[in-house]
Structures are given as structure tokens and as C-alpha cells.
Structure 1
Amino acid sequence: MITDNSFFLPGNENGILLIHGLTGTPTEMRILAKGLNKAGYSVYCMQLAGHCGDEADLCRTTWQDWYKSVEEALTFLASKAKGCLFVGGLSMGALLSLKLAADYPDKIKGVGVYGATFYYDGWSMPWFSKTFFPILPLLKKLHLFQKRSFIEQPPYGLKDERIRATIVESMFSGDSAAAGLAGNPFPALAEMQLLAKKVKSQLSEVVSPCLIMHSENDDIANINTNARLVEKTVNAPTKFVALSESYHMITIDRQRRHVIKESIAFFDQIVKQNTNNGNSDEE
């Protein structure tokens, strides 16, 4: 069942589930979704539990709630697309995509890993993020600093100044359904740290081919400690694409068309392989 700001674009029998990031919305996956749908795929852009509302809505949820909504979205997509199923996510959505692939290796045929974020260590992040964010789960357990938020700073993950201006205007106008929240509540960041720890422990269980796309100049998550971690740890074939003219939000930034092109080629190749294997089995 489609609820809230999720949307489904019907296409052929092959389906792709797209997952947005922490405090984000399905809108940040819309351009990619339309490109994949134009190429023939059925695409479901889901809304994570607790998102597209206010900070209180988000803080009432845990990473387990977010992941449960991902599993429910996969069930929905599987009811609409009976062929190959794929998953792709941006930032925290990339981590949830990898966990889904680890947990459902027989269902997920390929993964789009866009701007994976295990560590907030990009060039725009404050010095304390590397040491303070990892202890947020402890602070949450002790009920400390639970009313605080980390307010995002320029360039907000976007190198394209025109798109940045539009997103920032929506974000600070309070339209969280369109552009997400302006701040990252500490309780949600604590849950993000717990999710990252869990997914890191499961990376070796990912056997589905992975398309790993990341900005060389990512302002939020350094390419070497995040994307390269995925590349060297998953137990699957990988294709690594480094982008030079984007920041963190690669699905909507300057090279968004390149992200679409690479994704279509990657998923098409897997569909072709599965089709050929099916024909061989019949023979």
C-alpha cells in the first residue's frame, strides 16, 4: 500500500525500490526514479517511517522502524513486479539498501549504493562530528541532549547553486515533505550510528552486485572511508564510479543524468544475465 509521500511508477516486470536518506524525502530520488522508469522499470520511491513530518515524528522512531518500512516497501514492490528486483538508496538509504540485500539475497538482484554514509567525515563537517556523533547512542541511552539538533550547513550536499537555492528555500520554509528537515535531531543521529554499526557487520553478507557511486568531493561523507569500505567488504561484484562535479546529493546534483545512465546500464546488464540464465535452464 502506498502511503504519505511515497510514489509508484508502473513499468515492466522488473522493479526498483529507491530509499531516501536521513531527514530526507522521496523527492530526492524522484529524478532518478523517472529516469529508471523511462528506461522501462517499475519504480517505487518509498517514505521511511517517521520522515516527512517534524522532528518529533522522526524522534519517535528507531532504525528498526526505518528498516521495517523498507521491508514493507519491498513486499509492495514484489507484488507489482514479478521479474528482477533491485534496491538503491542515497546516504543512509544506501545503508538500508545494503542491509536489505544482505537479508534477502534471493530477492535482491542488484544494489545501487549512492553516497553511502557510515561516517560523517566529509570536508564540510565540523571537527567534532567524528568524535561526538559516535557517542550519541550512549547519550540517548542516558537521556542527555535529546532536545538538540545538528543544523546542516552550506553547501547542503549540493554543488549546483541553482538547485541548492531551491532546496534550501523549501527546507527552511518548514516544508519537510518537499525538502526534508533543516536539522538532524540528536536522537535520530544516534539511531543512524546504530544502523551504521549493524550494516558494517553485515557487509560481507551482501552477495548481490553493487553499483557504488560517490562524489570525490563529498561534503558529508568522505569517499575513501565510506564508498571504498563498501567496495572492499561486500562479497559481491562491484562497479565503482567516482563523480567529480557533485557533492553528497548525487541523485539531484550536477551529474544526476550520469547517475541515471550508469544505473540503467548496471541494472540492464543484470536483467540480461538473468534472462540468459533462465533460457539456459529451460534448455
Structure 2
Amino acid sequence: MRIPFRGAPDAPLDPALVAPMSVSARPELTGGRRVGVLVQHGFTGNPFSMRPWAEDLAARGYAVEMPLLPGHGTRWQDLNRVTWADWVATVEGAYDKLAAENDAVVAVGLSMGGALCLRLAADKGDGLAGICLVNPAVDTLRKDVKALPVLKHVVPAMPGIANDIKKPGADEHGYPMTPLKAAASMFAGYAELRRDLPRITVPVLYFRSAEDHVVDISTSRALNAGLSSKDFEERVLEDSYHVATLDNDAPRIFSESADFIARVTAERS
């Protein structure tokens, strides 16, 4: 269920809601090894949508880096001033910090955050122990996306995609608009990522909502056809929409991702 945007469309978001998170590992809770988890939000979203998951991981003893992507967490107009390359660089910086301080690193992401985790896995190879994705996006069946390279010069933004959540009253505090220059850059990044999916060999746990009004089945098809990972599992969420990390299936995501992280990091010891 999408709930209306609360507040003026051009009003800045509350910094307290969108703050990034950085927590050190507690190896006494993880068998004596330091394990880091990079937690990444999606397009037009912010860390609020991932905070419950990040806090659950931190409580289990994992180091957590949850960055705020450039152009996000302020006003939607700011998003048109940055590109896919800026987001990739931010994720790489968070990964580098975790890799320097921990014995193993896993990346988890929602929507475009999942795509950025895939990009990281393609670029870093075995530097990652695994990735966990929730409704990631790497492709779309929407025909209007093809018009973005032209449309972005004519229209600054379209209505937003935030709050595709089944759970009543939930709010991800995302942008009320979808900035088109940023969207065009994102989809160009997806196209390059699809070509590089065969480079990904690390374990992948993929959660997909049965009903998602933002990301369609084309991403599932692309991942199943393109990934080289021998350890790949797709699990369907039956009681959540797109922002499943704040939806009815969130406890399942937290529990099953923790099991996955424990397994893939133990295999590297």
C-alpha cells in the first residue's frame, strides 16, 4: 500500500530519519571473527528503510556500514545533480572501510541498493563473502524508460515510487518525486551491470516479493540467466510489497539473511 507523502513536496527530510550508520564488530558474538555487513538503501530512499535490518545485524555482532547515497536524504532536486558513478563510489568506500577492519564482508541491499551490491560483487570478486538482495532492480519491462535520455531534458521529475508497502501505516520517508536525470543514469548503470552479471560468482541470497509495484519479473529473469554463482537461491516473499524491509516479511528477511551471513562467512575461515 502506498501512503501519501507527508509534508510539502519540496521540504527537506529530517536529518535524524535519514542518518547513515556505522557500527564496529563485536567478535565475541560471532565466534571470534570480525564480520562486516554493508547495508544499502535504494533509489529515492534513504537509510530509514534499512535501519531495522541494520540494527538487527549490529545486535548479532556484525560491523555495519550503512551509507547515505549522494543526492538522497535531502530534497529530491539534489538527486538530479548526481549519477550512478557517485553511488557506486560511495558503496566502494563503505566496502573498503569494512574490508580493512574485518575478516569477511557481506553486502545487503534493497532495490537499487541491491543492484549496487551486485555491482560491487562484479568488481570485487571474492573480496565479498556473499550478497543478500531484497527486490533488487537490474532491468524493467516499462517501455517509457527508453524515453528517459530525451525526457530528462524536458521534465525534471515524475511522481515518486516511495511507500510501496503492504503493512498499514508504514512509511519509508522517501522522496515524493522521481528525478529523471538521476533515473536515466540509474538505468544506464543497470544496462552495464546486466552485461557484467556473469562476473559474479559469490553466494547470492535473493528475496523477491510476489507482488511488487516497483520492480517487475524481468530482474528475476536476468539474475537467473546471468549470474555465475553456484550458490544462488531465490526466495519469494508472499506478504510484502517492494519495501519488504519495512513490511510484513521483514522478520523473515532479518532471520534468514543472518543465517546466510553466518554460513558464507564461516566457509571462508
Q: Which bin holds the TM-score, normalised by the shorter protein?
A: 0.7 to 0.9
Listed as ranges, the matches of 1:229-244 within 5 Å are 229-236=222-229, 237-244=231-238
**1:176 corresponds to:** none
Letter in 1 for 2:203: P
Aligned equivalent of 1:144, options 132, 138, 154: 154
User: Once the two structures are superposed, what CA deviation does each residue of 1:184-230 show, in whole Å capped at 9, x if it has no partner?
Assistant: 111111111111111111111011110000101112112x3213421
Q: Distance between the aligned counterparts of 2:130 and 2:76, measured in 1?
A: 33
**1:263 corresponds to:** 257
Aligned equivalent of 2:242, options 229, 238, 248: 248
Distance 1:228 1:35, change over 3 A: farther
Letter in 2 for 1:231: N
User: Once the two structures are superposed, what CA deviation does each residue of 1:3-34 show, in whole Å capped at 9, x if it has no partner?
Assistant: x8211122231100011000110111111111
**1:64 corresponds to:** 85
**2:122 corresponds to:** 102
Listed as ranges, the matches of 1:200-239 within 5 Å are 200-222=194-216, 224-236=217-229, 237-239=231-233
Listed as ranges, the matches of 1:27-42 within 5 Å are 27-42=48-63
Indicate whether 1:73 and 2:94 are aligned. Answer: yes
Q: Does the 8 A contact of 2:140 with 2:218 survive in 1? A: no
**1:134 corresponds to:** 146
Indicate whether 1:161 and 2:175 are aligned. Answer: no
Aligned residues: 244
Distance 1:108 1:118, change over 3 A: same
Q: Secondary structure at the match of 1:105?
A: helix
Q: Does the 8 A contact of 1:212 with 1:231 survive in 2? A: no
Aligned equivalent of 2:38, options 2, 13, 17: 17
Q: TM-score, normalised by structure 2?
A: 0.86
Q: Does the 8 A contact of 1:90 with 1:113 survive in 2? A: yes
Q: Distance between the aligned counterparts of 2:87 and 2:264, measured in 1?
A: 28
Q: Distance between the aligned counterparts of 2:138 and 2:122, measured in 1?
A: 16
Q: TM-score, normalised by structure 1?
A: 0.81
Q: Does the 8 A contact of 1:213 with 1:227 survive in 2? A: no
Deviation at 1:120, TM superposition (A): 4.8
**What percent identity do the matched residue pairs reach?**
28
Q: Does the 8 A contact of 1:134 with 1:193 survive in 2? A: no
Letter in 2 for 1:157: D
**2:13 corresponds to:** none
Indicate whether 1:191 and 2:212 are aligned. Answer: no
Letter in 2 for 1:161: P
Deviation at 1:135, TM superposition (A): 2.3
Task: Please tell me the root mean square deviation across aligned C-alpha atoms, in Å.
Answer: 1.7
Q: Distance between the aligned counterparts of 1:244 and 1:203, measured in 2?
A: 26
Q: Secondary structure at the match of 1:265?
A: helix
**1:126 corresponds to:** none
Q: Secondary structure at the match of 2:65?
A: strand
Instruction: Mark the runs of 5 or more structure 1 residues left unpaired by the alignment.
Output: 122-129, 168-178, 276-283
Following superposition, which runs of at least 4 residues in structure 1 exceed 3 angstroms of deviation? none
Deviation at 1:265, TM superposition (A): 0.8
Q: Distance between the aligned counterparts of 2:98 and 2:267, measured in 1?
A: 21
Q: Distance between the aligned counterparts of 1:75 and 1:50, measured in 2?
A: 21
